[in-house]
Amino acid sequence: MVLEYFAYAAVGKLLIWTVQTSGPFRPIWSFLEARWPKIEEMHECGWCVGCWVYTALAYLLQVSMLGDLTYSLIGCIITGIVTSFLMQALSFGLQNWFGWYNYSE
């Protein structure tokens, strides 16, 4: 169970990075940002994109932190949000610890 969760978190982090930076997604982001300017903030936010990616991945892989305590979709949504938060906190911690900063801003 724990190994599956770590694999789920790692695959999700790779998908988030791919969705945010890869070329095939740029036209989609441009299209959305032209219609809704606030989408640009979400595009740059790893936690925001992560909530959607991890929720979809949890639903596809049937990963749930809550087990059988909730309905399937609610468990997947909660799992996606919590995992996105934990991965973002881990990313910020590693950036702070090792001095990885984004100086492009």
Asked whether residue 103 is assigned to any structural domain, the reply reads: no
pTM to 2 decimal places = 0.78
Asked whether residue 61 is assigned to any structural domain, the reply reads: yes
Asked whether residue 26 is assigned to any structural domain, the reply reads: yes
Asked whether residue 56 is assigned to any structural domain, the reply reads: yes
Overall number of domains in the chain = 1
Asked whether residue 104 is assigned to any structural domain, the reply reads: no
Q: 19-37, pLDDT tens digit by residue?
A: 888 888 888 888 888 888 8
Say yes or no to pLDDT of 17 above 70: yes
* Host domain of residue 85: 2-97
Cα separation, 58 vs 26, whole angstroms: 25
Asked whether residue 88 is assigned to any structural domain, the reply reads: yes
The stretches of the chain forming alpha helices (DSSP H) are 2-21, 26-35, 39-44, 46-61, 72-98
Asked whether residue 105 is assigned to any structural domain, the reply reads: no
Q: 73-101, pLDDT tens digit by residue?
A: 888 899 999 999 999 888 877 777 777 66
